[in-house]
Amino acid sequence: MVKFVEAKTLKDKVDVSTIGFGTHFTDYMFEMTYDEGQGWHDAQIIPYEDIKVSPANATLHYGQAIFEGMKAFRQGKDVVIFRTKDHLNRLNNSARILDIPPIDVDLVYDALHQLITIEKDWVPAQRGQSLYIRPFIFADDPYLGVNVAKRYKFYIILSPVAAYYAHGFAPVKIMVEDHYVRATKGGLGEAKTPANYAASLHAGLEAHKHGFDQVLWLDGIQHKYIGEVGSMNILFKIDGKIVTPALDGTILNGVTRRTVLAVARDWGMDVEERAISIDELVEDYKNGKLEEVFGSGTAAVISPVGVLGYKGEEMVIGDGKVGPFAQKMFNYITGLQSGLEKDVHGFIDKVTSVD
């Protein structure tokens, strides 16, 4: 049990169907501090409030920070989290890449359970709605020297979110990016770190101007091999097989990606994790072998791609409609999250029950 500081007043609960992503936060947050020589200390659950940092805060200037994103759901009276430890272990992998001291996964797991138990009434009950969980760590040294920091803060904040597809399951238009680069081998691509998002914003804005929703990144050296979408991993159904780029250090090891691959294998499908060139994809498209394209990530679960733009040409995938595999996988994973499917892999982490 971590220390609990009670709030003087609690907020009114919100109707999540009327709010955007990440706009409202619950009454409490988890906080823990790291100091060199002392390790992580002062783990506590405290009222959600603004935090104070020095204007010389190391993260504001040099960006030594990492985060996670996972979701809690209602399953009848139960509150569950999807693949908690996989997310916390990935936070430690990001920590390793950014030279941030690792967290004690068991301690944080227990603290998160305690926090969610306190905040259980904030977990929305309708299918597709969830309580988004955002753990994050940032360097907190108050000086401008460029160094690996000696002091860090770790928080977990919680935000109720609406169903991602409130207006139906809509395929997105993705532009294959052959100019800008998100990550290269030996870089930060495999870490969930703000730098990767900063590197992606400008290309995203340009894609929007051309009528696309997001970009699909290619490798940073040859602009040839497919990476990921930047907030989602990318998967293809090619000639009956599920094919996705291998984890080569430039893309995130998505928990949803892993879930999709495990379930596809359960369904007896061939799954390939390997390098895929954009030329191969264009070829498969022309030969009618490119059956489906979809993204995977915690926010949307599955995001079908209706159009892939590359060098000014548009490839319309499956008549621009949602593919049957993407639809079936979306139904299955969201069914698992809402308790309608049997949890054969132990992905569901039960936290507490509501009265």
Residue 196 is a binding residue for ligand PLP (CB under 6 A) = yes
Q: How far is the CB of 332 from ligand PLP (least distance, A)?
A: 15
193, 66 contact by CB (below 8 A):
yes
Crossing angle (nearest 10°) for helices 324-337 and 255-266: 110
Q: How far is the CB of 245 from ligand PLP (least distance, A)?
A: 11
Residue 192 is a binding residue for ligand PLP (CB under 6 A) = yes
Residue 181 is a binding residue for ligand PLP (CB under 6 A) = no
Residue (228 or 284) nearer to ligand PLP, CB: 228
Query: Of residues 232, 263, 315, 322, which one binds ligand PLP by CB under 6 A?
Result: 232
Both tokens assigned to 274: 């390997």
Give the C-alpha separation, 312 to 354, whole Å.
53
User: Taking the CB of residue 191, how many other CB atoms lie within 10 A of it?
Assistant: 25
Q: Which of residues 42-81 bind ligand PLP (CB under 6 A)?
A: 69
Residue (26 or 296) nearer to ligand PLP, CB: 296
304, 169 contact by CB (below 8 A):
yes
End-to-end Cα separation, the chain, in angstroms: 22
Residue (114 or 334) nearer to ligand PLP, CB: 334
Query: Of residues 124, 171, 297, 306, which one binds ligand PLP by CB under 6 A?
Result: 297
| Interaction pattern, residues 240-269, with ligand PLP; x per rule: CB under 6 A | ------------x-xxxx------------
Which amino acid, residue 154? F
Residue 309 is a binding residue for ligand PLP (CB under 6 A) = no
> Which segment (10-18, 50-58, 150-158, 229-237) binds ligand PLP by CB under 6 A?
229-237
Query: H/E element holding 139?
Result: strand 130-139
> Which segment (27-35, 92-100, 227-235, 312-320) binds ligand PLP by CB under 6 A?
227-235
Crossing angle (nearest 10°) for helices 255-266 and 84-97: 130
Residue 153 is a binding residue for ligand PLP (CB under 6 A) = no
Q: How far is the CB of 251 from ligand PLP (least distance, A)?
A: 7
Give the C-alpha separation, 181 to 112, whole Å.
35
- Closest to 235 in 3D by CA, of 299, 170, 291: 291
The SS3 assignment for 234 reads strand
Q: How far is the CB of 354 from ligand PLP (least distance, A)?
A: 25
Residue (129 or 193) nearer to ligand PLP, CB: 193
Give the C-alpha separation, 232 to 238, whole Å.
19
Both tokens assigned to 273: 């994790």
For ligand PLP, the binding residues (CB under 6 A) are 69, 192, 196, 228, 230-233, 252, 254-257, 296-298
